[in-house]
């Protein structure tokens, strides 16, 4: 599966990009750029440099069953 196809704006992800890890909410995406809010800052990431995408589980976000 294409990594970019799995990313949905408005959801929180952990993105691994060229030796860095960024966690935040994806605001916008296209085939070349991902914009996400991370610790109150706007990050613009080159979509081609993303090598892994994780979506935090509900339990790690503090959800109560």
pLDDT band at 16 (very low <50, low <70, confident <90, very high): very high
Q: Does residue 61 sit within a domain?
A: no
Q: Does residue 41 sit within a domain?
A: yes
Domain, as residue range, for 22: 3-56
CATH number of residue 12's parent domain: 2.30.30.520
Query: What is the count of structural domains for the chain?
Result: 1
For residues 45 and 32, what is the distance between their CA atoms, to the nearest angstrom?
8
Q: Does residue 62 sit within a domain?
A: no
Q: Does residue 14 sit within a domain?
A: yes
pLDDT in tens, 26-59: 999 998 999 999 999 999 999 999 999 998 875 5
Q: Provide the token pair at 5.
A: 């196809």
Judge whether 50 and 15 are in contact, CB under 8 Å.
yes
Q: Where is 19: in which H helix or E strand?
A: none
For residues 48 and 16, what is the distance between their CA atoms, to the nearest angstrom?
11
pTM for this model (two decimals)? 0.79
For residues 48 and 57, what is the distance between their CA atoms, to the nearest angstrom?
25
């Amino acid at each position: 599966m294409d990594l970019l196809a799995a990313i949905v704006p408005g959801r929180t992800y952990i993105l691994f990009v060229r030796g860095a890890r960024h966690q935040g909410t994806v605001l916008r995406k296209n085939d070349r750029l991902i914009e996400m809010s991370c610790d109150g800052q706007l990050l613009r990431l080159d979509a081609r440099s993303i090598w892994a995408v994780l979506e935090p589980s509900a339990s790690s976000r503090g959800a109560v069953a």
